[in-house]
A and B are shown apart, each in its own frame.
Chain A
Amino acid sequence: MAISVNINGETRDIESEGDTPLLWVIRDELNLTGTKFGCGVASCGSCTVHVNGKPQRSCVTPVMAVEGQEVTTIEAVESAEAKAVQEAWQELDVVQCGYCQSGQIMSAIGLLQENSKPTDTDINSYMQGNACRCATYQRIKAAIHLAATKLEA
């Protein structure tokens, strides 16, 4: 029996086998390529999506584990936090190569949903698992603070 998952507000019947990581279902089967493959072992965060509104590493999440749950990818985030984060990222020109940034943004949205006014220490601790080889970290931190300010306004 096919596994059914709600992806970006739409219920989808998944053809892939149940042990297939959600990442590859999203990318190869559903053609949503904004979510990235970086390491496959939950060590870089490029594959971060939201499951029931919370950040999760899709590369180590078997698709059967999210049966019947709500998965949101970078293509469909639209909460106030999401808008604030994306705007802040653009205003501060955070990106360089950009490959990890979908995951950074998905994590940052998760952080602001839990903590509307994070300190540098909060940011370091929450974003520690999102690697950026271009080392855009200083701007990521600044953009999260900027997004928090935007949400306050």
Chain B
Amino acid sequence: MTIRMDRRAFLKASGALGTTLVVGFGTGGKLAIADNHHAADLNAFVSIADDDSVTVIVKHFEMGQGTATGLSTLVAEEMDVPWDSVKVRFAPSNNDLYKNLAFGGQGTGGSTAIANSWEQYRIAGAGAREVLIKAAAQLWDIDAKEVVIEDGMVKSGNKTVGIGGLVSIAAGLQAPEKPTLKDPSQYKLIGNNKLPRKDSAAKTTGKATFAMDVKVPNMVYAMVLRAPKFGGILKSFDAAGAAEVKGFIEAKAMPNNAGVAVFADSTWAAIKARRLITAQWDDSAADGRGSDARNAEMMAMLDADPVYDATGNGEAGITGKSVEADFMFPLLAHAPMEPLNCVIEPTENGVRVHDGTQFHMITHPTLAAVLQLAPENIEIVTYYAGGSFGRRANPTSDYHVEAALAYLLMGGQKAVKLVWTREDDLAGGYYRPQVAHRAQIGVGDDGKISGWKHRTAAQSIAKGTALEGMLVHNGIDHFSIEGIADTPYGIDNMSVGLTDFESPMPVLWWRSVGHSHSGYVMEVLMDMAAEAAAADPVAFRLAHLDESDANQARFAGVLKLAAEQSGWGTAIPKGRGRGVAVHKSFNSYVALVTDVSVNADGAISIDKITCAVDCGIAVNPDVVHAQMEGGIGYGLGAVMRNQITLTDGVVDQMNFPQYQPLRISDMPDISVHIVPSELAPTGVGEPGLPPAGPSLANAIFSATGQRVTSLPLDANGVKFA
């Protein structure tokens, strides 16, 4: 797909009114420079204005993970410009120019933003520095070797000029073919713990704009009354009751009969009107199963032979003491703080979409197909997103499609703002799939695992989507079993079998995807196996790691660091417990030690968590800390008490009171320790989550002797203070 839209306007806007120097990559990925009037075929990454300011064009969206800060750091480091002079601008939707190099299309996810941008953004910054130095050399008629940039000032002897003063000369020069990147020993910003986030000021004064805040002229508000059961289809509806609502405009059946679109002149009028509309649904193809039926079916799948064999067969290895356990993981909603929404407004040739867009590569062509517009006539403006946790990265672009259908229902003449409520969000599907696991593990006389037979039943995330070809191999959706079959532990004789659970209910990746359950399964089982071997949990894990292997050495490294920092091995007072878990995901390694206490009523408090992370070079150590804190917190809240349940196919949880988020009083004291590294950076947005649940579960076992293998914990016998 090629999109060429409004690039001149965009680049002009990036540099205000005057001439700016634009540094990016031309055809064939070669570094290129131009002034803003001649940069049409260039994917700009850096724009330097004559007021000395630098704008970094950020190809990833910002949902809180710190990407705007991270990508800016890479550029500012190589350019040697002051941090305060760096501004951030989100890239337009252009799959060719702004692709995620890990995906091959424009999108954010899989904790890849820094990892895939690491070379690209540093090269852009270093290229900008070299061309500015050449420009100064030309200005002063001296050798470029005599020119340096320090803190945004270009200097040679007693001559100095700001980078903005070199923009015109630099724009006429050739881009360096291979700019020299700094040696890590020269870094001032990368690895600097004191760099303020780029979005802090706007987000603490109410000035940051989210898509929910967008209001354009001639705009109506839309909400959709959706089928109560997944797979239900609209038969008929009666909107007579809504007529009395001031501001109600009209209600129309969605063209795909997925529901009733309700239009009004304010959000509140749409909410009120929708409550007064009744609808009849054809549930003949709907999923009417309740949670009990679903649980029973998934357990029956574990009893039967698996449909897919994900690895070889290790059954023969199960000798010695045997550890067996069944696990059940509930459906989970992402529940980002900003409910889903999107604005589509008409433009001269097409539409402009205002959205916290996560997957441009899917959303852009999907909207083109639904609206029957050429892609170049769709402009997507990306805003800060009020969280996502995976929800906005949707292979079907579900809420964008809804907005587009609503836009068409208004005849394409009015701007339409589609808004979901929290109730819509919790009942709206695209959940973390429900997953069942069963494992049988043998522990030999040598105290080591002799065999591991593992069975999983899960609804596939990737099957039936546009991404199936890329993500499903030999029938196996890797998201269902990741973190198990590819565990860094050296386990001989492991067999993993998989059966797909089928439902019309849509499921989706949820922060850390398959690792959100496999981390729990693996690390609770390792604890159980250690118990069977009468071994210390840390020592038992280390005994299954060969540190001559680089991957296993890093895994062992975080485990040892967390143990050391947490005081592992020191006596645990009565009424307290300590648990450990370590997991690799998104090419990063995280180990946690969790300390809990039990009060007189037997209720658990999570006191502190010690975290060790190896994510390669920590570009922004404070962002790494924040992502560990956030990933752990998000994981804890879910395992403590979150689940989506169904009664006759209808979701039971209405709003936050029935789907309680982690609260401030639940949050333990978390200390984060980063393993020093010179390896390329890897993910941080997700890897903190997988070990959070099992380290808590193992701590609860340590305190109470209670093993919990079905989640959430509070629905399975654990009381929290």
Contacts and interface: CB of A to CB of B under 8 A. Distances in A.
Nearest to B341: A37
A95 B266 contact: no
B655 A40 contact: yes
Contact of A97 (B63, B206, B421): B63
Contacts of B422: 38-41, 44
A90 B661 contact: no
A98 interface: yes
A141 B665 CA distance: 10
A6 interface: no
B245 to A, nearest CB: 9
A93 B622 contact: yes
Interface in A67-122: 73-75, 86, 89-90, 93-102, 105
Given A37-B212, A40-B422, A128-B664, A135 B632 contact: yes
A99 B387 contact: yes
Nearest to B658: A43
A19 B421 CA distance: 18
A19 to B, nearest CB: 9
Contacts of A125: 665
B246 A38 contact: no
A28 interface: yes
B696 interface: no
A145 interface: no
A102 to B, nearest CB: 5
B205 interface: yes
Dominant SS at the A interface? Answer: loop
Contacts of B212: 33, 36-37
Contacts of B423: 40
A140 B633 CA distance: 13
B395 interface: no
Interface in A1-47: 16-17, 20-21, 24, 27-29, 31-41, 43-44, 46
Contacts of A43: 655-657
Given A134-B387, A134-B634, A105 B204 contact: yes
B491 to A, nearest CB: 32
Contacts of A105: 204
B268 A28 contact: yes
B667 A137 contact: yes
A38 to B, nearest CB: 5
Given A89-B204, A134-B64, A37 B267 contact: yes
Nearest to B386: A99
Contacts of A133: 335-337, 387, 389, 634, 661
Contacts of A98: 64, 199, 202-204, 208, 384, 386
Contact of A29 (B196, B199, B266, B632): B266
A136 interface: yes
B617 to A, nearest CB: 19
Given A16-B266, A38-B422, A124-B664, A138 B629 contact: yes
A27 B267 contact: yes
B205 A36 contact: no
Interface in B25-77: 62-66
A121 to B, nearest CB: 9
B271 interface: yes
Contacts of B629: 135-136, 138-139
Contacts of B389: 133
A39 B440 CA distance: 43
A100 B204 CA distance: 10
Given A86-B204, A90-B201, A95-B200, A24 B664 contact: no
B317 interface: no
A100 to B, nearest CB: 5
Interface string B620-646: 001000100110111011000000000
A39 B338 CA distance: 9
Given A28-B268, A31-B215, A98-B199, A41 B656 contact: yes
Contacts of A123: 664
Contact of B664 (A32, A75, A140): A140
A137 B207 contact: no
Nearest to B670: A138
Given A95-B203, A96-B66, A133-B389, A20 B337 contact: no
B209 interface: yes
Contact of B196 (A93, A128, A141): A93
B352 interface: no
B339 interface: yes
B210 interface: yes
A130 interface: yes
Given A28-B266, A95-B200, A130 B64 contact: no
B282 interface: no
Contacts of A127: 664
B196 A38 contact: no
A132 interface: yes
A15 B265 CA distance: 12
Contact of A95 (B204, B246, B267, B271): B204
A85 B620 CA distance: 24
B674 interface: no
Given A90-B196, A133-B336, A135-B634, A101 B204 contact: yes
Contacts of B206: 32-35, 73-75, 102
29 contacts: A16-B266, A20-B268, A27-B213, A28-B267, A28-B268, A38-B337, A38-B422, A39-B655, A40-B422, A43-B655, A44-B337, A44-B422, A74-B205, A93-B196, A96-B66, A97-B386, A98-B386, A101-B203, A132-B337, A133-B335, A133-B387, A133-B389, A134-B64, A134-B634, A135-B662, A135-B667, A136-B629, A137-B633, A137-B662
Interface of B: 62-66, 196-197, 199-210, 212-213, 215, 221, 246, 266-268, 271, 335-339, 384-389, 421-423, 622, 626, 629-630, 632-634, 636-637, 655-657, 661-667, 669-670
Per CB-CB distance, the 10 closest pairs between chain A and chain B, nearest first, are A34-B206, A135-B633, A99-B386, A98-B203, A97-B64, A96-B64, A74-B206, A33-B213, A137-B667, A43-B656
Given A41-B655, A93-B200, A100-B386, 5 more contacts: A24-B266, A97-B336, A134-B634, A135-B629, A138-B667
